[in-house]
């Protein structure tokens, strides 16, 4: 096994500058002629001149009678002119062609009896009155569109009006996408169960969409297995057929770093490794004068690297301008340390709480594609910085509209699946509203409320002393803050064990059996408090529980430990057990409440949310999930 | 001929409110299931849950060796553990699946000799270190996307990662477009010469593009001739097949107002005539519960009416949110009187001159589609207003980006075809720059400079007293303003006469022949001044010229008079004569200059323009137009 270190790793700015300066995009761009009717959104490759004038003949601009203006000269109400219909006056409608010999239209409203023949004309009409003349809009030879502009629907109309039926446009650059990896199976086969040892290949779909959005024409090549010769052959073929090639994955620092070698074998590697995160394992090269990009394998890295290095080239070749994302000043909800020397992009959700738009970070791993799906914005930590500071303003690139942010309610605290249901129903009720949830644990939610980082909290903390939920904690951490405690649901907590319950675990008392390995939740988690309560109730000592000190941060992480055999048992909710097919031993229902400060409660957006919570639709959907009891749902249980 | 007056004409607000309240779009919307790989840009019709977890199996998060963490417990540099490769330690790369029995990855960088077997481990590794665990990103049953959101490329990736290959999405509403009008020929036949009495039908192409942009699926039906029964039959068929029907044209107030009658016959007319301009002849109706819109025939009316009444319904059915256009405060370049009682939309070009963004109105006729093509923004004159005032701030809806406006040089004055060439070459030289030209005549250009409404003027005014161009006028109207006069071209002025010159016109002296009808330009036009100069030179009296008092505002309008036989001769430039196939009798070359205030001259954008003017490319293109002499092109002829 050889180690490849990014010896030549470049800063993001350096890499971008060198990369973009390398290509003469205007010189490389190609054009084609396509029907005007199919040219919407394309970019003109040359100025387009009118082939005929528009109107091409004189047209009536009003409904009435076409006449020769001279025939009306001298007419007055007392001394009217009489014009024979069909000879000196022709009934005509707006847009119709003027009969030969006529040069003016008398509006129908000005003719005393439009049904008479001859008609009576009570005043003079001037030449060209109410007539759209030849060339009034466009003259033969006049420029209809310059080059380099996007063809709008009305520009299509203008071109056709000018007799132009085919338009010279920039050809969409052809972008070949080569997925690499022996373990990958194509998306076309995802319908079936995933075969053991196989992973779904979906980056090519993401990249295809990004290519199209940048103005290119994607073409996904067959998956290439981890074999240097096969990859080199596939690259050669792709370079011959395309204007730009993306090799996805295969560019990690490991033994399978064939992308680098394939590009180096056929052409030149300019950059191997960019000091950005996600996106570090990016390879930039040139083969036969064409750009070839080794795009990282993790989906978030793939997207961010694409935006920096592929999108500007594709747009440049297409003649398309990529509008920069709108920017907004936001306040990080927490300190965000970042490795100096790397430009880091942090996905965040955004919501206005009070005066400030609060940025709550999403998981930072490059493999968590949901962090992009859920992101409202991107924060950039410059390479020279050690991170972003809590509550210190920074610019966020927006992935949603400013209106979305104004319509967002931020709930931080313990996660529960019914929050997803609520988010969905709230958005259905009012498309301007969104519910953004961050999973920071029950106590984390109370802290967020104290610091003004959330509109509401989600909490299920049982106080073992008083056997009450949430109130003692609120009194301790949010003393004197006017707020209401509103129940969302009771949910079943229980023990998750391997399928078939091979260790015959029946109750909380089994946890002290010396041969059993338990997996715990972190301090401050409601489920941890619940465990402590249950142990105390049974008179058991936490020290007797093997693995009490091993902590996980989510129900699901606990379930994964049990699923993988790293632990025999954990405490959690039914949904997590179900997700991995574990057995579930119900212990007791626990109360999950929303903590709602008065300022939120009086907010119209929250009132809409409350009406959604109290509607039968939500309660039926939550019941259908299993493990929930909605008896107190929407009830104000307590306030201070 | 019956008169149909808009007895029931509604205000725009009233009509919109009544119209949008009429339909339960959520109830009418339909959904369909389509492959996720083809779902980019579509809107989810239901929440979508993960069918499998992602990762679906544990994966290495680093390159190195997969091990059982327990096997490393207690290892130190002094007391290392040795793990046999292929038995207790497995070489693994980022993204690959963890072998059974392993739960941690030791990074390759931390193994002293990665090629050795067994490998040496010098420290303990914790469970799950450098491992992406099952469900870390997505858990079976978890909501991947709520309903009502647009599917991004990364959302496609997330869905596929979650084993979802087909997505429930809103069906694109089907919009039938029925063009009506006996005189129309379809765009597919526009290649040929336009047959006499025929007009090109292009509104259906414009409307198709607008339908697609609003999220609908357009389907253009055959052109319906002006026959009430045929239209009713076509409407019935379209209503059966589509979710919304647009009947284009046929909705004027004239005899052919069959749209109204067809809708009334098959269903209900809600609104006949909307107090908006352009767009007044809009008919809004319902047939079989489906919206049917009589869309006006003039292209600008068609677009503006569509935006008010069709777009919101289509977007609503598609579940798409139409982002409002960005707005900007601008200053009208002139008073814009408008008829009270009508909401008027005025197309304007925009450019920042000094501190203010100046809005210069484009032709206001509903038939001038170029006014939309050239527009940078739309001003709205409210129904209760009598118009907009010069230099008084108003909001403009932007059709371009704010960056476009900052990059725009505004040239006002006499029009010349070489200005179009310049605009094109400037944009080619630097995509951020645009040249926006307004045709207000030479004197109008000087006035605009005086009032700070333009960056530069275009002028060809000959002073008959001094036989000099432009300078005397600048000294009179822009005294003391530091500026430079830069030549653009000399161009041939001459007499335009009917093809074959039937009246045997040879020189300026012929204009006083009593049987000849002349057509003149407006006062202040450079060409009018030229005429006066030529008459004076020959000792002729303007009163002797028949038609001296008849004024037109453009070269082309003069040519149209000659073309139509309304006049026998006019003075103008070669391009106008050529456009209509007229004969041209050259009289003399005249100088066309740019008037450039110092503040513009020192502007980097103008310097780029000047370098384009002085480049051989522009001069060759202008020469190729015919009628131009570029000997002084780009020369500073005078300054003050």
pLDDT of residue B597: 97
ipTM of the complex: 0.91
Measured CA distances, B149 to A371, A404, A432, B9, B538 (Å) = 16, 12, 11, 38, 76
Strand pairing partners for A588? A493
- Measured distance CA(B566)–CA(A103) in Å, rounded: 8
Distance between B12 CA and the closest CA of chain A, angstroms: 22
Which of A160, A213, A556 is opposite residue B135, by nearest beta carbon? A556
Indicate the SS3 state at residue A603. coil
Label residue B349 by pLDDT band (50, 70, 90).
Answer: very high
- Is B152 in Cβ contact with A209 (below 8 Å)? yes
Label residue B250 by pLDDT band (50, 70, 90).
Answer: low
pLDDT of residue A251: 41
Share in percent of chain A as helix, strand, coil (round to 5): 30, 30, 40
Q: Which of A310, A386, A411 is nearest to A421 (CA)?
A: A411
Which of A133, A209, A575 is opposite residue B560, by nearest beta carbon? A133
- Is A97 in Cβ contact with B563 (below 8 Å)? no
Which of B128, B373, B564 is opposite residue A103, by nearest beta carbon? B564
Predicted confidence (pLDDT) per residue in B372-402, tens digit: 999 999 999 999 999 999 889 999 999 999 9
B254: pLDDT strictly greater than 60: no
Please give the radius of gyration of chain A, using alpha carbons only, rounded to the nearest integer: 35
Say if CB B360 and CB B348 are below 8 A apart.
yes
A216: pLDDT strictly greater than 70: yes
- Measured distance CA(B153)–CA(A152) in Å, rounded: 25
* Average pLDDT of every residue of chain B: 91
Averaged pLDDT for residues A384-405: 93
Question: Which segment of A311-325, B50-64, B225-239 scores lowest on mean pLDDT?
Answer: B50-64
Say if CB A594 and CB A486 are below 8 A apart.
yes
CATH code of domain B330-406: 2.40.340.10
The enclosing H or E element of B300 equals: helix B299-305
- Nearest chain A Cα to B430, which residue? A148
Say if CB A34 and CB A164 are below 8 A apart.
no
pLDDT of residue B8: 65
Tokens encoding B268: 């209900």
Name the burial class of residue B80, with classes exposed (0-12), middle (13-18) and buried (19+) by CB atoms within 10 angstroms of its CB: middle
- Nearest chain B Cα to A156, which residue? B206
Could you tell me where in chain A the CATH 3.40.980.10 domains are found?
12-26+173-318
Residue of A2, A95, A319, A570 to mutate for B, most B C-beta atoms under 10 A: A95
Predicted confidence (pLDDT) per residue in A462-492, tens digit: 998 898 999 999 999 999 999 999 999 999 9
Could you tell me where in chain B the CATH 2.40.340.10 domains are found?
330-406
A326 DSSP assignment: P
Distance between A45 CA and the closest CA of chain B, angstroms: 10
Q: Which of B251, B259, B254 is nearest to B280 (CA)?
A: B251
- Measured distance CA(B342)–CA(B417) in Å, rounded: 36
Measured CA distances, A493 to A444, A513, B143 (Å) = 20, 21, 21
Candidate CATH numbers 3.30.70.2190, 2.60.40.3120, 2.170.190.11, 2.60.40.420; the one for domain A59-132: 2.170.190.11
Chain B residues within 8 A of A369 when measuring between CB atoms: 54, 137, 154, 157-158, 161
Name the burial class of residue A316, with classes exposed (0-12), middle (13-18) and buried (19+) by CB atoms within 10 angstroms of its CB: buried
Could you tell me where in chain B the CATH 3.40.980.10 domains are found?
10-26+173-318
Indicate the SS3 state at residue B352. strand
Q: Which of B400, B408, B273, B291 is nearest to B341 (CA)?
A: B273
Say if CB A205 and CB A177 are below 8 A apart.
no
Indicate if the alpha-carbon torsion angle A15, A18, A20, A25 is positive or negative: negative
Predicted confidence (pLDDT) per residue in B58-104, tens digit: 889 888 999 999 899 999 999 999 999 999 999 998 888 899 889 99
Tell me the CA end-to-end span of chain A in Å, nearest whole number: 64
B368: pLDDT strictly greater than 50: yes
Averaged pLDDT for residues B216-239: 94
Measured CA distances, A504 to A518, A541, A576 (Å) = 14, 21, 20
* A548 Cα distance to chain centroid: 40
Could you tell me where in chain B the CATH 2.170.190.11 domains are found?
59-132
Averaged pLDDT for residues B107-126: 92
- Is A210 in Cβ contact with B254 (below 8 Å)? no
Fold type of domain A441-639: D-Maltodextrin-Binding Protein; domain 2 (3.40.190)
Distance between B315 CA and the closest CA of chain A, angstroms: 13
- Nearest chain B Cα to A319, which residue? B431
pLDDT of residue B197: 75
- HEC states along A353-382? ECCEEEEEECCCCCCCCHHHHHCCEEEEEC
pLDDT top residue among B576 and A239: A239
Could you tell me where in chain A the CATH 3.90.105.10 domains are found?
31-54+137-170
- Is A91 in Cβ contact with B190 (below 8 Å)? no
Distance between B613 CA and the closest CA of chain A, angstroms: 16
Chain B residues within 8 A of A143 when measuring between CB atoms: 417, 420-421, 423-424
pLDDT of residue B580: 84
A247: pLDDT strictly greater than 80: yes
Does domain B10-26+173-318 bear CATH number 3.50.50.60? no
Size of interface A-B (CB pairs under 8 A): 334
Label residue A433 by pLDDT band (50, 70, 90).
Answer: very high
- Is A142 in Cβ contact with B417 (below 8 Å)? yes
Which of A109, A156, A181 is opposite residue B205, by nearest beta carbon? A156
pLDDT top residue among A622 and A253: A622
Chain A residues within 8 A of B256 when measuring between CB atoms: 93
> Given the structure tokens 């309610």, which residue do they identify?
A409
Report the percentage of chain B scoring pLDDT > 90. Answer: 74
Residue of B56, B70, B146, B322 to mutate for A, most A C-beta atoms under 10 A: B146
Fold type of domain B439-639: D-Maltodextrin-Binding Protein; domain 2 (3.40.190)
Which of A115, A200, A557 is opposite residue B1, by nearest beta carbon? A115
Q: Which of B338, B337, B322, B184 is nearest to B249 (CA)?
A: B184
Measured CA distances, B19 to A13, A352, B24, B58, B206 (Å) = 53, 34, 11, 55, 23
- Nearest chain A Cα to B144, which residue? A370
Name the burial class of residue A477, with classes exposed (0-12), middle (13-18) and buried (19+) by CB atoms within 10 angstroms of its CB: middle
* B412 Cα distance to chain centroid: 21
Residue of B71, B93, B314, B559 to mutate for A, most A C-beta atoms under 10 A: B93
Measured CA distances, A587 to A582, A592, B548 (Å) = 15, 16, 103
Predicted confidence (pLDDT) per residue in B477-532, tens digit: 999 999 999 999 999 999 999 999 999 999 999 999 999 999 999 887 889 989 99
Averaged pLDDT for residues A346-351: 96
Measured CA distances, B159 to A564, B31, B144 (Å) = 24, 18, 7
* Average pLDDT of every residue of chain A: 91
pLDDT of residue B181: 86
The number of beta carbons lying within 10 Å of the beta carbon of residue A546 is: 18
Q: Which of A592, A595, A635, A614 is nearest to A485 (CA)?
A: A595
- Measured distance CA(B449)–CA(A504) in Å, rounded: 92
What is the dihedral angle through the alpha carbons of B308, B314, B320, B321, rounded to the nearest 10 degrees? 10
CATH superfamily of A12-26+173-318: MoaB/Mog-like domain (3.40.980.10)
Distance between A452 CA and the closest CA of chain B, angstroms: 27
pLDDT of residue A523: 83
Predicted confidence (pLDDT) per residue in B136-183, tens digit: 888 888 889 999 999 999 999 999 999 999 999 999 999 999 999 888
- Is B209 in Cβ contact with A144 (below 8 Å)? no
pLDDT of residue B251: 41
The enclosing H or E element of A595 equals: strand A583-597
Label residue A250 by pLDDT band (50, 70, 90).
Answer: low
DSSP sequence for B383-440: TT-SEE-TT--EEEEESS-HHHHHTEEEEEES--HHHHHHHHHHHHH-TT-EEEEEE-
- Residue A588, CB-side half-sphere exposure with 13 Å CA sphere: 12
CATH code of domain B31-54+137-170: 3.90.105.10
Chain A residues within 8 A of B187 when measuring between CB atoms: 36-37, 160, 165
CATH code of domain A328-406: 2.40.340.10
Residues found in chain B = 640
Which of A149, A253, A373 is opposite residue B158, by nearest beta carbon? A373
- Measured distance CA(A229)–CA(A237) in Å, rounded: 12
- Is A323 in Cβ contact with B401 (below 8 Å)? yes
Distance between A219 CA and the closest CA of chain B, angstroms: 13
Residue of A139, A186, A347 to mutate for B, most B C-beta atoms under 10 A: A139
Averaged pLDDT for residues A434-451: 90
- Is A109 in Cβ contact with B161 (below 8 Å)? no
- Is A194 in Cβ contact with B52 (below 8 Å)? yes
- Nearest chain A Cα to B143, which residue? A420
Question: Which segment of A187-201, B584-598, B626-640 scores lowest on mean pLDDT?
Answer: A187-201
pLDDT of residue A3: 42
Indicate the SS3 state at residue B173. coil
Predicted confidence (pLDDT) per residue in A568-620, tens digit: 999 999 988 988 899 999 999 999 999 999 999 999 999 999 999 999 999 99
Which of B133, B157, B420 is opposite residue A203, by nearest beta carbon? B157
- Nearest chain B Cα to A98, which residue? B197
> Given the structure tokens 């409660």, which residue do they identify?
A601
- Nearest chain A Cα to B249, which residue? A95
Distance between A590 CA and the closest CA of chain B, angstroms: 21
* B496 Cα distance to chain centroid: 35
- Measured distance CA(A234)–CA(A239) in Å, rounded: 9
- Measured distance CA(A439)–CA(A436) in Å, rounded: 10
Residue of B364, B564, B565, B609 to mutate for A, most A C-beta atoms under 10 A: B564
Predicted confidence (pLDDT) per residue in A251-281, tens digit: 444 444 788 889 999 999 999 999 999 999 8
The number of beta carbons lying within 10 Å of the beta carbon of residue B223 is: 18
Averaged pLDDT for residues A312-327: 93
Chain A residues within 8 A of B321 when measuring between CB atoms: 431
Predicted confidence (pLDDT) per residue in A19-54, tens digit: 999 999 999 999 999 999 999 999 999 999 999 888
Q: Beta strands of A119-194 (E only): which ranges?
A: 119-121, 131-132, 143-145, 166-170, 174-179, 184-185
């Amino acid at each position: 096994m050889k180690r490849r270190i990014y010896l030549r790793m470049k800063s993001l700015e350096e890499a971008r500058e060198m990369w973009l300066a390398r290509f003469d995009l205007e010189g490389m761009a190609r054009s084609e002629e396509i029907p005007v009717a199919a040219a919407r959104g394309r970019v003109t490759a040359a100025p387009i001149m009118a082939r005929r004038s528009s109107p091409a003949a004189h047209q009536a601009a009003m409904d009435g009678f076409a006449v020769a203006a001279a025939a009306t000269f001298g007419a007055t109400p007392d001394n009217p002119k009489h014009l024979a219909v069909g000879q000196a006056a022709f009934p005509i409608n707006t847009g119709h062609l003027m009969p030969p010999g006529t040069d003016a239209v008398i509006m129908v409203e000005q003719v005393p009896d439009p049904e008479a023949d001859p008609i009576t004309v009570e005043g003079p009409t001037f030449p060209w009155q109410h007539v759209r003349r030849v060339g009034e809009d466009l003259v033969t030879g006049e420029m209809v569109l310059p080059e380099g502009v996007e063809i709008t629907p009305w520009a299509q109309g203008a071109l056709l009006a000018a007799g132009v039926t085919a338009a010279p446009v920039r050809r969409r650059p052809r972008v070949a996408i080569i997925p690499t990896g022996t373990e990958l199976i194509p998306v076309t086969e995802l319908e079936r169960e995933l075969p053991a040892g196989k992973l779904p290949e979906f980056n090519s779909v993401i990249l295809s969409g990004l290519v199209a959005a940048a103005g290119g024409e994607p073409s996904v090549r067959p998956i290439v297995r981890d074999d240097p010769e096969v990859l080199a052959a596939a690259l050669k073929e792709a370079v011959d057929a395309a204007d730009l090639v993306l090799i996805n994955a295969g560019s990690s620092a490991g033994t399978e770093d064939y992308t680098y070698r394939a590009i180096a074998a056929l052409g030149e590697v300019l950059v191997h490794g960019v000091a950005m995160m996600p996106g570090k394992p990016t390879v930039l090269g040139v083969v036969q004068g064409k750009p070839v990009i080794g795009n990282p394998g993790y989906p978030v890295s793939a997207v961010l690297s694409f935006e920096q290095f592929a999108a500007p080239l594709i747009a440049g070749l297409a003649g398309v301008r990529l509008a920069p994302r709108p920017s907004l000043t936001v306040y990080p909800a927490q300190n965000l340390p970042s490795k100096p020397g790397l430009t880091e992009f942090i996905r965040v959700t955004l919501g206005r709480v009070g005066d400030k738009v609060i940025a709550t970070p999403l998981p930072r791993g490059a493999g968590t594609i949901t962090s992009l799906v859920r992101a409202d914005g991107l924060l950039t930590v410059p390479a020279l910085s050690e991170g972003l500071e809590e509550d210190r303003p920074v610019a966020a690139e927006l992935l949603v509209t400013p209106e979305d942010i104004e319509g967002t309610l931020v709930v931080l605290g313990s996660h529960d699946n019914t929050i997803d249901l609520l988010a969905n129903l709230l958005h259905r009720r009012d498309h301007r509203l969104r519910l953004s949830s961050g999973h920071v644990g029950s106590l984390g939610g109370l802290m967020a409320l104290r610091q003004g980082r959330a509109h509401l909290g989600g909490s299920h903390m049982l106080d073992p002393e008083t056997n009450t939920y949430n109130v003692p904690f609120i009194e301790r951490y949010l003393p004197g803050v006017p707020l209401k405690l509103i129940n969302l649901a009771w949910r079943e907590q229980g023990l998750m064990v391997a399928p078939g319950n091979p260790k015959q675990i029946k109750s909380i008392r089994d946890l002290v059996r010396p041969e059993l390995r338990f997996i715990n939740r972190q301090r401050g988690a409601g489920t941890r408090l619940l465990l402590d309560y249950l142990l105390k109730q049974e008179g058991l000592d936490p020290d007797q529980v093997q693995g009490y000190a091993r902590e996980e941060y989510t129900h699901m992480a606990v379930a994964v430990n049990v699923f993988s055999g790293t632990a025999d048992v954990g405490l959690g909710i039914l949904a997590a057990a179900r997700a991995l097919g574990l057995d579930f031993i119900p212990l007791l229902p626990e109360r999950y409440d929303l903590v709602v400060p008065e300022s939120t409660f009086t907010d119209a957006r929250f009132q809409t949310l409350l009406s959604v919570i109290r509607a039968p639709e939500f309660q039926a959907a939550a019941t259908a999930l299993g493990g929930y009891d909605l008896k107190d749902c929407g009830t104000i249980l307590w306030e201070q």
